[in-house]
Each structure stands twice: as C-alpha cells, then as structure tokens.
Structure 1
Amino acid sequence: MRRTVKPWLCHPSKRLLISLLSLAMLSLALLKLPLFHTDPKPVEVPVDIIYREHIHSYVKEILAKECRPSFARQRMEAEHHSSTQVVEPFLNKNTHLNDKIFQYPPPFGFMDLKNKLQEILNLLPASSEVRHGGRDCRRCVVIGNGGILKGLGLGHLLNQFNVIIRLNSGPVQDFSADVGNRTSIRMSYPESCPKMWEDRDSDLKYVTVIYKSVDFHWLRAMITKTSVSLWDWLFFWQNVPVSVPIKASQFRLLNPEIIRETALDLLHYPNARERLWGWDQNVPTIGVSALNLATYICDEVSLAGFGYNLSQKEAPLHYYDDRPMTSMLKEAMHDVHTETVFLKHLVTSGSITDLTDGAVAVFLQVWVF
C-alpha cells in the first residue's frame, strides 16, 4: 500500500523546524541523564573537639541573650539603602499587585505572567503570614548545606531557634545530629525541591521561588495534586518532584521583590541580564535570598552552614554528599565572591551572626589533619 505524505511535511522549512524541535527535545532529555563526574572524592576534615566546644558555647551564648525586636531588618535598612520597598514577603490571593512586580522577568518579577500568577494566587490562602511564636521576639536561623556543618553536632542547638529556614533539598533524617530535625520554612525552586520529603513539622511552610514561566505550572500541579505534563517536564534542567506531600495551606509564593532587592540593592548587581540560556551571574543564591527574607519575618537572624572555602578544594562542599569544594568553581550563574564579601560584612558589623564560620572571628579554629 502506498503511504500518503501530508503536503506540509514536504516543505523544507517545515522539515527543518521538526528536526530542530526534535533535537531540542532530545538535548533537554539528555540533560536529565545521570552524568559520570570525575571530581575527586572529598577529604574528610575531622573537627577538633576543642573547636567544637567553642562553637557550641558561642551558639548557647547567642540563644541566652535577650532577643532584640526588629533588630536585623533595622540594621539592614540602615546599612543598605533599598529602592525596593517589600511590603509583603509572600504573595497571596488578597495581595494588591502593583505594576512594579511586572517590570522584570523571573526571578526578579513576573513580566508577561500576570495570568499565570493570578491562577496560582487563587490557589493560595487569603493570608500568607509566616509569624512563628506569636508576637514574641523571634530568632531565626538560615541553615545552608555547607560541608562545614559536618561533625559539629549542632543539631540540638539549631532546634532551639524560633524559626528554622532550610534551603533546597538539604536533608535532615540521617543528619539531624549536625543540622537538627525541625523545619519552619523550606525554600527552593522546582529543580532543587526535595525528591524525598522529610519535613514533618505541623507548622511547616514551603516557600517556592519562581525562576521561569514553567515553574508556575509545576507549582500548580503540586498544590492541586495533579501531574506535571511531559511538555513542561522538558523545560526543567533536572528532574523535579512529582508531588510535595503537604496541604495547599502550607505553600507560599516568594515575592520576587525579595530577590530583586537582594540582587540590586544589597549585592549591587547590575540590572537583569538574561542570556539565551539562564542568567549572567546576577542572580543571588537561594541562601542569600533566604537571609534577606529572614530579616522581614524574624527579629534576629543567624546563619549556619554558609560559605565556600575554595582554598580547601578537596573539602566536602555539602554536609550530605561527596561533592568536593571544586564543584563550586564550575558555578556560572552566581557570583560567589561578591556574596561572600557581603555576608562577611554583615557578620563583622554585627547585623547577623554566623554560627559556623563567623564564630572563627571570636574563637581560634583548630583543624586536625
């Protein structure tokens, strides 16, 4: 039997378009395949017992002091003039959307995404207040995923903070001795969301950061307990969770003005420079963005597990895996050096405290090699 070919398929431009689309889909699929890394195994750096005791004493001292209401936000505003007035750190269905929020594309705003945004807001609670502990003064700790947390045994002390913010997919189940097991807020974008959900706190809030248009589709699927389409899946740079086992009332949408303020006013990056693929080192990390968020919802802010000591190239990058510090040298989106200088300034000025690295300024760090 002679097969009939549709006329439009015979046109050279149509065939070229189909070939390009097929190649693009194949390339996106290949990006999700496991890669064989040739990075060397990280060298375990044992923590000296005396140093660990100093760190514990430092954290206990911070927890024992009288909490200072609105301290972190006041210091941030006094030291860094902001042209971005963030009235609501989270967006909800009752949020009044001003034109400024649509001035930039994600992650700095929602340009040309008003309908997608409104669709998500209609699924969220009428109020997105995240105020833990009532009206009492709140101490907040933002826990990074740095390998510096390994062996410090700070878990039981980190659990004593009023608000505990965890980043991306940083696990707790097998690492609670070092990082604790309480989570008040988990903050991530779709690709960095935990595949295995371990946070069981009754007051947990999951804060989603929108980096691109398709992130709205994923968030809608997670809230409504539906599936992510195959077409949408192709536009994520790595696999995303198929479900997030929490209630709709626990989801929060980060106001992109938090990221814009972090980038433009705190880190003094130039205006958004979008490239064909991704951004050009003017997007702040989730960690620094979470720090800025913390100054809005907490009174005092501390960090733990932050910092990349690139001089120790074979030291562990994370507390939970075997990636060495050299992996961070391949990072193209974030300006790690500028963020490090910014964080050190905040710690030195006393605006925030760094429980695992800033403590070095107070106590002598002793490593056993």
Structure 2
Amino acid sequence: MLALRLKSHHYMTALLSSTTILLILYLQNSLLVFTYGSYGFVSERSPCACSACMADRGKSNWFNERYNPNVPILLNSTNSVLNANVSSWWEELQYSPTAGNYTRVVDQLFHLFPDKEHYSDAGPDRCRICAVVGNSGNLLGSRYGPLIDHHDFVLRINKGPTEGYEKDVGSKTTHRIMYPESAVDLDNSTHLVLLPFKILDIQWLISAFSTKNITQTYMEVPSTIKANKDKVMIVHPEFSKYVYDNWAEGHARYPSTGFLTLIFALHICDEVNVFGFGATSDGIWHHYFEKTLTSYEIGIHGGKFENETINQLQQENKILIHRGWA
C-alpha cells in the first residue's frame, strides 16, 4: 500500500514538473494579450509585438470583412499564374490591343529580379511601424520630416521628392511605389515597387534593366532607371484586384496609386501612420511640389470613395492620419 502511494506521489510530481516546464516554455515564446470573457481572463497570442497590431482581427468587423491576410502581395515564380477572374479584370485595363503575352513576359522577370517570398516574417516578435507618405500640399509647413524618418519603413508614391522638402516630408525612403509614367531614379537602398496596370509596365521594367528599348507607353517614359535591381518588387495583379473589390468596392476603373500603396502597407506593416493624404486646411487639393490644382472627384479613380474609406480606417483605429494642418 505504501509502495503504491509512493508510486502515485512520484507520478504526480513528474506530471506537475512537466506541466510547469511546458507552461514556462509557452510563456517565454508567446506574447500574451488578456481579454475579459464570461469565465474570467482568456489568453491569446498577439499577432505582433506592437501595442496595436494590424493583423489583430478581433477589433473591427468592418475591417475583417475587407482584409484578406492570404492574398498574394508581390509576384514571384510560384504565384505568378493568374486565375481566370484576375486575368479577365487585368486584361480589361490594357489600353493596347498589341499587349504582350503575360506568361511569356513574367517568365523573363525572375532571371533579372529577386524571386522569393517577402515580408513572411510577421509574428509575435515583430513590430514594424510604417509611414505612408502621400503628395498632398498639406505637408507644407508640417515639420513632419523627423517623425517620418523615424519609421521602420517609409513608403513614398510616384514622383514625390524629398530634396528641398526634408523638414516637412523627411529624407528616408525604403520603398518607392511607381509605374513607368511616374518613374524616378532611386538610391541603392530603396526598393523599387512596380505597380503594373498593364503588361507593358512589366515589359518596361525588364527593358529598363536590360535592352532599354521601351521609351513610349501612352506617353514618353524613361528608357532606363537608376535603381538597385536586387531590391525590385512587383505588385501582384491579384492584389490590385483585391484592393479594387474589397476596399474600393468596384468604384471607378481601378484604384489610385496612393490608395493601393496604403492597402499594401496594411499587409506588410504592423502599425501604419499616414502623411500627405487629403486636402490642405482651406480645402485645396494639390501636390506639395507643384501648384497645379488636382481633384479627387474626377478621373479614372474613385477618389471620393477612397477618401471615405481612408477616413473609416482611422475611425476603426487601423491607421493614424497626420493631416499637417490639424
């Protein structure tokens, strides 16, 4: 009887020791977030190490209905085949009846540019804070430069310059999102992120780093570009359609570069701060580097709806908009 009790005692001791070790290991490797439920505190793994995480899907039903964490963001050789719906939608954007064959063009891409998964490091140990910098005149006089440069990633759009505007827009650029008609030279540390609206855009990218023979699309474009080819990325056409369907909700012909860039940031960042979007304090829409007035309500993009969606993202506490004049 005594032997049985001792055996039982040793078994319970071993069981408790094993449980304690497993618990310690779990706590060491998990960042816990505590929420109050019907039966007390319930722990769950936080999707990132920031105080607020983009991938936390328990905070906003509106956001959850639109955000798809599994959509392909960037092209690589393993995800480049387009499904029928994406292919049909993307073909409708082609303005040229002589556009090249998508499959043959894409086959050339990864002989020149990186062919790998990007930003697959999301997890409870990562806190990537990003600045999306638009080109609104509301940046002038904002003195946001040091704040913008403090971010892990700084995403800039099209031709928005930094030289001469550093106090207001900063000097750091980690990603420049562009298409052939908005191309600018980059330094060696910046990612060129091509946003292709047509097959010719991808052909231009290949040409700009090889034959340099494409100089015209629907307008004159540079035959080459100064950029680090090992940092080139190409936004997946399926991602563009996803933004059009889920976030722009089919408004206009296709989303604007600024709107696509912002949704792109929601997928590669844990926290997103937005600068240089919207009007100036007196309601005028223009770029900070030129005086020509623009309008978000006309053209091929659903600017009014995009603006409402961006404001809703702030109301849902998914982004923080810095308006400059506020």
The TM tier, using the shorter chain, reads 0.7 to 0.9
Aligned equivalent of 1:244: 225
Which has the higher relative contact order, 1 or 2, with Cα contacts under 8 A spaced 6 or more apart?
A: 1
Aligned equivalent of 2:157: 167
In the alignment, the residues of structure 2 paired with residue 355 and residue 240 of structure 1 have an alpha-carbon distance, to the nearest angstrom, of: 33
> Given the alignment of the two structures, is residue 105 of structure 1 paired with residue 90 of structure 2, yes or no?
yes
Greater C-alpha Rg: 2
- Larger mean CA deviation between 103-112 and 184-193 belongs to 103-112
Match of 1:355, as an amino acid?
A: H
TM-score of the superposition, structure 2-length normalised?
0.73
Partner SS, residue 104 of structure 1 = helix
In the alignment, the residues of structure 1 paired with residue 242 and residue 145 of structure 2 have an alpha-carbon distance, to the nearest angstrom, of: 31
Q: CA RMSD in A?
A: 3.2
Q: Say if 1:88 and 1:330 are closer, same or farther in 2 by CA, change over 3 A.
A: closer
In the alignment, the residues of structure 1 paired with residue 180 and residue 140 of structure 2 have an alpha-carbon distance, to the nearest angstrom, of: 26
Q: CA deviation at 1:76?
A: 7.4
Question: Contact 1:107–1:256 at 8 Å: present in 2 too?
Answer: no
Match of 1:91, as an amino acid?
A: L
Question: Contact 1:107–1:211 at 8 Å: present in 2 too?
Answer: no
Match of 1:71, as an amino acid?
A: M
In the alignment, the residues of structure 1 paired with residue 81 and residue 221 of structure 2 have an alpha-carbon distance, to the nearest angstrom, of: 29
1:197-216 aligned at under 5 Å gives the runs 197=185, 199-200=186-187, 202=189, 204-216=190-202
1:75-224 aligned at under 5 Å gives the runs 79-82=63-66, 86-95=70-79, 97-100=81-84, 101-106=86-91, 113-130=102-119, 136-194=126-184, 197=185, 199-200=186-187, 202=189, 204-224=190-210
Partner SS, residue 181 of structure 1 = coil
Per-residue CA deviation, residues 169-193 of structure 1 (Å, 9 max, x unaligned), is 1111111111111111100111011
- How many pairs are equivalent? 271
Unaligned 5+ runs, structure 1: 1-65, 271-280
In the alignment, the residues of structure 1 paired with residue 80 and residue 198 of structure 2 have an alpha-carbon distance, to the nearest angstrom, of: 22
Per-residue CA deviation, residues 252-277 of structure 1 (Å, 9 max, x unaligned), is 1101122111111112116xxxxxxx
> Given the alignment of the two structures, is residue 348 of structure 1 paired with residue 319 of structure 2, yes or no?
no
Question: Contact 2:297–2:303 at 8 Å: present in 1 too?
Answer: no
Per-residue CA deviation, residues 70-118 of structure 1 (Å, 9 max, x unaligned), is 4257367752524967443111234363524434225879995222122
In the alignment, the residues of structure 2 paired with residue 189 and residue 127 of structure 1 have an alpha-carbon distance, to the nearest angstrom, of: 21
- Larger mean CA deviation between 82-91 and 158-167 belongs to 82-91
Per-residue CA deviation, residues 145-178 of structure 1 (Å, 9 max, x unaligned), is 0000001111011000111100001111111111
Unaligned 5+ runs, structure 2: 1-48
Q: Say if 1:285 and 1:98 are closer, same or farther in 2 by CA, change over 3 A.
A: closer
In the alignment, the residues of structure 1 paired with residue 281 and residue 141 of structure 2 have an alpha-carbon distance, to the nearest angstrom, of: 20
Q: CA deviation at 1:200?
A: 2.6
Per-residue CA deviation, residues 301-331 of structure 1 (Å, 9 max, x unaligned), is 111000136973xx4601111212xx32684
Question: Contact 1:288–1:339 at 8 Å: present in 2 too?
Answer: yes
Question: Contact 1:86–1:257 at 8 Å: present in 2 too?
Answer: no
Question: Contact 2:50–2:126 at 8 Å: present in 1 too?
Answer: no
Aligned equivalent of 2:261: 290
Q: CA deviation at 1:338?
A: 0.6
Question: Contact 1:128–1:252 at 8 Å: present in 2 too?
Answer: no
Question: Contact 1:304–1:355 at 8 Å: present in 2 too?
Answer: yes
In the alignment, the residues of structure 2 paired with residue 77 and residue 215 of structure 1 have an alpha-carbon distance, to the nearest angstrom, of: 36
Per-residue CA deviation, residues 178-228 of structure 1 (Å, 9 max, x unaligned), is 11111111001110112xx2x4362x211101112221221111232x323
Aligned equivalent of 2:44: none
Partner SS, residue 138 of structure 2 = helix
Paired-residue identity, %: 23
In the alignment, the residues of structure 2 paired with residue 132 and residue 145 of structure 1 have an alpha-carbon distance, to the nearest angstrom, of: 30
